[in-house]
Structures are given as C-alpha cells and as structure tokens.
Amino acid sequence: MGKDTKDLNTQDTPALENRRRFLGRSALLGLAGAGVSMGLAGCKEEAKPAAAGTAAAPAPAHAASSHEVAPGQLDEYYHFSSGGHSGEVRIIGIPSGRELRRIPVFNIDPMVGWGITNESKAIIGTNPDGSLKYNTGDTHHVHGSYKDGTYDGRWLFVNDKIHSRIARIRMDTMEVDKITELPNVMGFHGIFPDKRDPVDEKINYTTRVFCGAEFHCPLPNDGRDLDDPSKWGALFSCVDAETMEVRWQVRVDGNMDLTATSYDGKLVASNQYNTENSAELGGMMASEHDACVFLNVERIEKLVKEGKFTTIGKSKVPVVDGRKAANSDPKTAVTCYVPVGKNPHGVNASPDGKYFVCAGKLSPTSTVIELALVHKWFAGELAKERDAVVAEVELGLGPLHTGFDGKGNAYTSLFLDSQVVKWNIEKAIAFAKGDKTAKYVVDRLDVNYQPGHGFASMGETKEADGKYFNSGNKFSKDRFLPVGPLHPETEQLIDISGEKMKLIADHTAYPEPHDGIIVRRDVVKTRKIYNMDDFPNKVTAETSGIERKGNKVHVRMLSMAPAFSLPIIRVKKGDEVTLTLTNHDKIEDLTHGCAIPNYNINFIVNPQETKSVTFKADKPGAFWLYCTHFCHALHLEMRSRFLVEA
C-alpha cells in the first residue's frame, strides 16, 4: 500500500486545491453580477486542470506510527460496513476509523434526498400512487464483486432482512442503482457474490449473487397455512449481478442463515441453525447437530434449463427442489447437508479456497469443511456428508464469525467470552486427526464487548494480507462517555501482522453495524464528477423554463454557483409540480442543494447530476427555494422565489 501513497497525494491534492481556488475566485465573479452566464464563464475557466506546482505542501510520506493516520494523510483501506436497522451502508477509513461517507440504501436520507427524489423513489420502489413501498430496512452483510478471486471495485451488494430486498451499490459513485425484492422469501440474511462461473472459465468474475433466507414462511404467503408452520418453507435465491433479476430459487429443509461462495464458482453454502424446522425457540435447539448446506450451482442451473422446476404463487422464478428427500442420490443431488455443531452461525471461505469454516454459536466449536470432499460427495465417492468435516475444534464460548489472514490462520469471534481467538487451520486439522500435541490456538485477545462479526483486511479474497482485523462489538458499556441510555457500539481495530494480536483502536459506531469488508484503497476508483449525458432528463440552458400542460407544471432549472437559472417560479394552487434540477458546475464536490419550505422538499445535486421531485402545490404563498449545500461565498444568496397563487 505504501507504493500508491505518492500517487494518491499527487492525484488528490490538486483537486482539493482546485476547489479551494474556485471558491475564492468565483466569489468575486458572483459579486460582480450574480447570474448563470457569469457562473458559466467561471466554470469553463476552472474546468482546466490545475497547473503543476500549485498543490499544497506534500504531507510526510509516513505517519508517526504504523496505524496512526496524521492530519492530511489518507487511510490505507476502505471499510465498507453495513448499518443494521439504520438501513444504510457506511464507508470508514482504516486504520483511522474516520467515517468518510454514509450511503443511504433502504432508509430515507434528507441530505442527498434519498427517498425524496423521483429517481431514488423509482429505485426503492413505489406504490401505484407514487408513494414509497417501504421506507425502512435492515442491512447486515455487504460484499464486493469479484474478479480473479479478489475485489474488482465495481459493485457492493447488501441485504435487507426486513423486506427481503437486495441492493446494488455502484462503487464509482457509491450510490445504489438497483434494488430487487425476493419473491416468497422472509428474513433474507446471508448474501454472497459468486467468484467465477462454475462452468465457463472465461467468466472469472461475479455474475451471480446468492441470498439465504433465515425465516420459513407459507409458500406463497397469501393467508394460507397460518396455523401449520410444518407446511412453511425457505428458499435460497440466486440473483443476476448484472440485471439484478432473480434467476432461480431452491427450496430447502431448515432455514438459511449466512452464505459463503467457493473460489471455483461451483459451490455456495449456508449455515442452518433450525434444521429442526421449528417455529418455537425450544424446538430450534432440540437437535445436537444442525447443518451447513452446500448447493451445487451447475446442477441447479441444469435443472432450470431442462424445465425441472416449479413456481410459487404469482412469482415466475423457477424453484428447484433442494430438500433432502428429493436429493438422496449424491450423483444427482443439488444439495448436500453437512452436519455441524448445534445452532451454528457464520460460514466463511478460507482465502486458499480449500475450506469453509462454520462457527458453532451454541457449540463451543468451529467446524472446518474441506471443499474437495464436498465435491467427492457430489461425485458419489464419499460415504457420508459428515465425512467432509476435517476438524471440529473447541475455541471457546459463542463462536460466531471467522476472518482470515492469508497465512493459514483463522480469527473467530467469541460472543460469550468477549474474545477473538486466533487459530491455525492446518494444526486444527492435525489435532482432529489425532495429533494431540498440535496446538492450534495461537492467541486470544479480549475485546470490548461481545463481538459479532470479525473480518480481516482483504480477508475474503485470495489477496488476504493479514494486516488488520476489525472486531464489530455489540456492546461498548464503559468504553465511551455516556450519551443517554443508548450507547454507541464499538469497532475495535486489531493489528494482526504479528504472532500476537494487538488492539490498536476503539472506533465508535452508530447502531448497528453487522458485517463489513476491508478493501485496499487502490481497488476503489471513484468518479470525480457525474456525466451529464447519463441523465435523460437533464436540463440545459435551452430547456430551462416552466412548461404547463393543464394542471401539470414542469419546472426545468439548472444550478450554477451561486444561482439557480429561474429567479421566480410561479404556479397555481392545485398544480402538480415536477421540478427537475441539473447542476451545471463542473468542479469536483461543487454540490448544490434544493429545499422548499413547507413542501417537505430537500435534496442535493452533485456536479453534472440531474434530479427531480414531484409534488402537489397545495399551499398558496411565497416560499424561498434555497440552496442547502454550502457551495460558494454567495451560498446564502442562492435562492429563488417559489410563488403559489391562491
């Protein structure tokens, strides 16, 4: 990572300088005669790249200590974190812990206008009357798209457990561009992109995203079988990464929890804590063993191709039968139920591509499953599913999730013991084979407190680099100043570069992050500004104006610091108003806002971006439409009169 430090400095500092200069110089232009034409002139000039040598003084190449990030210095990694029932995704710098950005996904965000603009509403989904279908969500797991077994920086995918939706985030803009609701699924929890195609070698990148469903429900859920949970079922879904349409589903016994994919693209697995298929807490803990279910992607897709599927209710998505009874012959089975410890949680793929590790939760063990043996079972060459287990070793109380350092070690969170335990996978296998001298536990570290997910830098790729491990703790208790009955949670950063783990920072987190990934910064390539032509409804100087068709009024406006193109917008009470705003500024980060008092309108437009809102002008009066996003010395003056005639 040291190697690109210089690049980033020379790339980013002039941009910063560019905006700083713009703010200074355009203030003068604006004062000389605020107006869009003046703004345009200023903009053209500023669009030129900054001359060399104008950059601010370079910051020192290395911070004081390996994990401190000095002021002005940039982090080595991006941490993309789910936001739990806040419904969002967050971007945090690692190792500094700086919160860089929040990405609204299933929540409403007035800052960007997510859930307020027509464009975001269309992505989230609307009722026939145009109102939002849902305005809340619960994000647990965020994962990046892959190429060649590592992140390609193209997309992030995240689940909504409440409404069983999957969202895709474009990593060039860090905005959601698609959301899909899974049919006949409740409690969509685990999510994981595939890493390559199971058959076509040329497709060595993500084309599918797999989705586990934690709750069973009536199929279809239309009022039938309310009092007979034995008839309820759970579906595992495959979503097309490109179109975001649901390709197929598999009906399984038990409930799916978390999800992991193999590096060869052939296997995807989900842990199950309720193989009992019970609707009661006691029943879910009845059996001594639950399962890690492996799905054979190639075989499922063959059945779909051959038309060997059913559909459920109104959904057209093909559903293949993956229940045990229909899959007793390994040679044709699409599923393999590998028994693991009681009520497991978490399944994670080791970066060498050889193992999946399932954490025991109610069992103090971690189970190591060798994928080559699962393949053998599907070939009819392994006697029992359980024979794919090569180790089931004791780690401590409440094991939940496992990260990897790429050096053969695993790091498992222990919820009840409030610890992270570092253990060696090959030694655990040797121990399980009978070598009782094999000391597989390498180190233990107390964390504060009750860790859920833990994940390492690049740890879910074949480029796992063993530098940092993030422990996502569910309780911070006494670690921070009290801020009322609700406390922040902690993300504790652990240096895992040595033999012993070292706790290096406590970072607060707004409730409630679950899973995350830590991505090397050179993987992420964001845009500086938008491309105006990507917006079919863009407003130009020629189209700016007010168009009336009956009582439908279309206001087309552009913004250019420090003015909107229409100083007066006049409509009549009862009109349906659509306001479309294009930001013609071209300077990176020169964003404008648009708020209309008493009308509940608030959104931003980034440079070269277009957004629109539609609302009923039902309150007569004069309302100052104003810019909310500090953009210019004349930011406060940047406003238009929105006049509604009685």
Give the footprint of Ca ion on residues 335-354 (CB under 5 A): 343
128 vs 282 by CB, closer to Ca ion = 282
Q: Residue 482: CB partners within 8 Å, gap ≥ 6?
A: none
Chosen from Ca ion, ligand RUQ, ligand CUA, none, partner binding at 141 (C-beta under 5 to 8 Å by type) = ligand RUQ
24 vs 283 by CB, closer to Ca ion = 283
Query: Is there binding between residue 452 and ligand RUQ (CB under 6 A)?
Result: yes
Tokens 């053998």 belong to residue: 376
Query: Is there binding between residue 67 and ligand RUQ (CB under 6 A)?
Result: no
Q: Which of 165, 514, 611, 632 binds ligand RUQ (CB under 6 A)?
A: 514
How many other C-beta atoms can be found within 10 angstroms of the C-beta atom of residue 483? 9
Q: Percent helix, strand and coil across the chain, each rounded to 5? A: 15, 40, 45
Task: Name the residues that contact ligand CUA, by CB under 6 A.
Answer: 561, 592, 627, 629-632, 635, 638
> Nearest Cα to 369, choosing from 349, 351, 384, 343?
349
Q: Residue 477: CB partners within 8 Å, gap ≥ 6?
A: 448, 449, 487
> Nearest Cα to 625, choosing from 645, 646, 607, 598?
598
Query: Is there binding between residue 453 and ligand RUQ (CB under 6 A)?
Result: yes
Integer angstrom CA distances of residue 54 from 41, 44, 275, 585: 22, 19, 65, 22
Query: Is there binding between residue 255 and Ca ion (CB under 5 A)?
Result: no
> Can you tell me the distance from the alpha carbon of 402 to that of 345, in angstroms, rounded to the nearest whole number?
10
> Crossing angle of helices 5-32/36-46, nearest 10°?
150
Specify the length of the chain in residues.
Answer: 646
Q: Which of 75, 257, 290, 301 binds Ca ion (CB under 5 A)?
A: 290
CB of 258 to ligand RUQ, least distance (A): 6
Chosen from ligand CUA, ligand RUQ, Ca ion, none, partner binding at 343 (C-beta under 5 to 8 Å by type) = Ca ion
CB of 88 to ligand RUQ, least distance (A): 15
Backbone angles phi, psi at 599, to 5 degrees: -115, 5
Chosen from Ca ion, ligand CUA, ligand RUQ, none, partner binding at 452 (C-beta under 5 to 8 Å by type) = ligand RUQ
Secondary structure of residue 18 in the 3-state scheme: helix
CB of 592 to ligand CUA, least distance (A): 4
CB of 368 to ligand RUQ, least distance (A): 19
507 vs 586 by CB, closer to ligand RUQ = 507
> Can you tell me the distance from the alpha carbon of 270 to that of 141, in angstroms, rounded to the nearest whole number?
14
Q: Which of 194, 465, 495, 515 binds ligand RUQ (CB under 6 A)?
A: 515
19 vs 289 by CB, closer to Ca ion = 289
CB of 283 to ligand RUQ, least distance (A): 21
Chosen from ligand RUQ, ligand CUA, Ca ion, none, partner binding at 630 (C-beta under 5 to 8 Å by type) = ligand CUA
CB of 139 to ligand RUQ, least distance (A): 9
In the bound complex, which residue of the shown chain has the CB atom lying closest to ligand RUQ? Answer: 452
Query: Is there binding between residue 414 and ligand RUQ (CB under 6 A)?
Result: no
30 vs 346 by CB, closer to Ca ion = 346
CB of 401 to ligand RUQ, least distance (A): 6
CB of 540 to ligand CUA, least distance (A): 19
* DSSP H helix total and E strand total for the chain: 7, 39
Query: Is there binding between residue 345 and ligand RUQ (CB under 6 A)?
Result: yes
Chosen from ligand RUQ, Ca ion, ligand CUA, none, partner binding at 299 (C-beta under 5 to 8 Å by type) = none
> Can you tell me the distance from the alpha carbon of 261 to that of 377, in angstroms, rounded to the nearest whole number?
17
> Can you tell me the distance from the alpha carbon of 246 to that of 237, in angstroms, rounded to the nearest whole number?
7
> Can you tell me the distance from the alpha carbon of 564 to that of 542, in angstroms, rounded to the nearest whole number?
14
CB of 187 to ligand RUQ, least distance (A): 10
> Can you tell me the distance from the alpha carbon of 349 to that of 358, in angstroms, rounded to the nearest whole number?
9
Query: Is there binding between residue 143 and ligand RUQ (CB under 6 A)?
Result: no
Question: Contact 30/634 with Cβ under 8 angstroms?
Answer: yes
> Can you tell me the distance from the alpha carbon of 500 to that of 595, in angstroms, rounded to the nearest whole number?
53
How many other C-beta atoms can be found within 10 angstroms of the C-beta atom of residue 463? 16
> Nearest Cα to 367, choosing from 414, 411, 429, 433?
429
CB of 29 to ligand CUA, least distance (A): 14
Binding footprint of Ca ion, residue count (CB under 5 A): 2
Strands 319-321 and 246-252, bridge-based pairing = parallel
CB of 547 to ligand RUQ, least distance (A): 48
268 vs 604 by CB, closer to ligand CUA = 604
Query: Is there binding between residue 418 and Ca ion (CB under 5 A)?
Result: no
> Can you tell me the distance from the alpha carbon of 635 to that of 630, in angstroms, rounded to the nearest whole number?
6
How many other C-beta atoms can be found within 10 angstroms of the C-beta atom of residue 555? 24
Q: What is the CA angle 205-211-213, rounded to 5?
A: 170
Stated as kind and residue range, the H or E segment containing 20 is helix 5-32
Instruction: Report the amino acid identity of residue 130.
Output: G
40 vs 438 by CB, closer to ligand CUA = 40
Q: Which of 90, 154, 189, 507 binds ligand RUQ (CB under 6 A)?
A: 189
Chosen from Ca ion, ligand CUA, ligand RUQ, none, partner binding at 290 (C-beta under 5 to 8 Å by type) = Ca ion
296 vs 413 by CB, closer to ligand RUQ = 413
User: Binding residues for Ca ion, per CB under 5 A?
Assistant: 290, 343
User: Binding residues for ligand RUQ, per CB under 6 A?
Assistant: 140-141, 189, 345-346, 400-401, 452-453, 514-515
